[in-house]
Amino acid sequence: MANGWKGRVHSILSESRKTLTRTVLDGAEALRLARSGSAAALERLRDCSPDELAAAVQELPAVRRAEFLELSERVEEIVPLLPETELTSMIRAVGLADAGWLVEFASPEQRIAAVDLDCWKDFRFSPMRLFEWIDAMIEAGPETLAAALDELDPEVWVLAMKEMADFSIAGMGDAVRDEFLTEDGSVFYTPHSAEHEDRLREILSTALIYSPSHYWRFVYGAIFEGRQECLEYAARWHAGRLNDLGFPNREYAMNAYRPLRPDAMPAIDVKPDPEAAADDHLASSHLPEPVRGTALGRALSELSAERASEILGYVLAVANTLAVADELPLAEPESVATSLTKALRGVERGLVELARARNERPAKLLNEVVPLDLFRIGATVDPDLGRGKSLTDLDAAQSQADWNELIELISEADQTLGRDGRPKS
């Protein structure tokens, strides 16, 4: 899975990232310069590369990032460089209704990821959230909407069409009103609401002008393709892309809660981290704030800066795994903080327990044991680190017809793992 983790750098790790990547400009200074707007301030920002500005932006809270980008002269250069998860959570934080300009400058990969992160919970799809993103694409302009017609899975568009209106071949059945005919005059649709009618007109007119092939695919798909089949195909493509973003499928993610006691931890044969030179350690002052002064932080500071940074990346992977296992909304900034805090706490607890059981230095064990196994040990000895209780949320969402289910909702008991790591029957 390690090769799949890309771009998930959280603001909570900004200090270590800044040190290891030698960011020329930090986020607070970049925002101060942008707010100033003086000739000297603007010249200072122009001297920075787009990569440097993108790195600085990620150190700011989500709303402040949007403020900096709105003030920036180079928003079109910076936005495509932001990690997909970072951009999605920023857009969610500022509100999609006001984020059309960010969607416009986003790359195709970022727009696809936004829908994958925000419109799905495992195999459950939310048309309501998709409509918010479609509206932002419409606000961004016809070129952005036309691009999205090609970028998003056709099954997703067909699902959206089915949710917005009932479609039928014109001329079949009763006479129809002209305003409910598609622009080519061959298909009749009955919108489910006035809001859907306006949205559909934008989609259909843009598709007919910019991409007639997509127009016919979506319109006739809404008539003849089954909802369940579309969901199954869309979920398959979605799962693969989410894995590339660093989020495992739920079956794998649940391994984080498989019990693992310190005395059952198998021996690991790894190449040891070479003794780091004094100036090659990751200084404690450059560690993320939550781990400073902890056993995890002390162990990290004994390793080389490169190895410590690598392990922090693996801890982020644990956080992504927990976000999936706990069914957190992946696009929400609060989910980032929740899953990362839990991952750090669990890895810390597991490291302490394993060091005590083996009577070995935590730094040595941290270099040898994968953080996910350390979290498993921590969750085994600390019940408070167990799986989050979020199914109530899903039940509420379903009752509001917000989420379409691909699979039957599994009960809480059916998802409980036994001591052997297998689901209880």
Q: Which residue among 82, 117, 145 closes a domain?
A: 82
AA identity, residue 277: A
Q: Is residue 112 part of a domain?
A: no
Predicted local distance difference test score (pLDDT) of residue 234: 93
Q: Greatest CA separation found in the chain? A: 83
Please tell me the predicted confidence (pLDDT) of residue 259: 93
In a domain, 88, yes or no: no
List the pLDDT tens digit at each of the 425 positions of the chain: 332 233 333 433 444 444 444 446 889 999 999 999 999 999 999 999 999 999 999 889 888 999 999 999 999 999 999 999 889 989 998 899 999 999 999 999 999 999 999 999 877 899 999 999 999 999 999 999 999 999 999 999 999 999 999 988 865 555 444 456 566 667 788 899 999 999 999 999 999 999 899 998 998 999 999 999 999 999 999 999 999 988 998 888 999 999 999 988 876 655 555 555 545 555 565 677 778 888 899 999 888 888 888 898 899 999 999 999 998 888 887 887 889 999 999 999 999 999 999 999 999 999 999 999 999 999 999 989 987 655 444 444 444 456 554 443 333 333 444 444 444 44
Q: Quote the pLDDT of residue 314.
A: 92
Bridge partners for 191 per DSSP: 165
236 belongs to a structural domain: no
Q: How far is CA 327 from CA 123, 124, 332, in A?
A: 11, 11, 12
Query: Where is the domain boundary, 82, 104, 122?
Result: 82
Q: Give the CA angle between residues 237, 321, 379 to the nearest 5°.
A: 155
For the chain, the domain total comes to 2
218 in a structural domain: no
Q: What is the mean pLDDT of the chain?
A: 81
**Would you say residue 27 lies in a domain?**
yes
Residue with tokens 């390793």: 303
User: Which amino acid is it at 155?
Assistant: E
Q: Report residue 313 as tokens.
A: 């990346």
How many angstroms separate the CA atoms of 70 and 84, rounded? 18
Whether residue 151 is contained in a domain is answered as: no
Single-letter amino acid code for the residue at 330:
L
The reply to whether 318 falls in a domain is yes
**The one-letter amino acid at 203:** I
- Full domain range(s) for residue 268: 250-388
Domain-embedded: residue 375: yes
Q: Tens digits of per-residue pLDDT, 132-169?
A: 999 999 999 999 999 999 999 999 999 999 999 998 88
Gap between the Cα atoms of 236 and 44, Å rounded: 46
Supply the DSSP symbol for 267: P
Examine the fold and report which residue of 49, 82, 115 is the final residue of a domain before the chain moves on.
Answer: 82
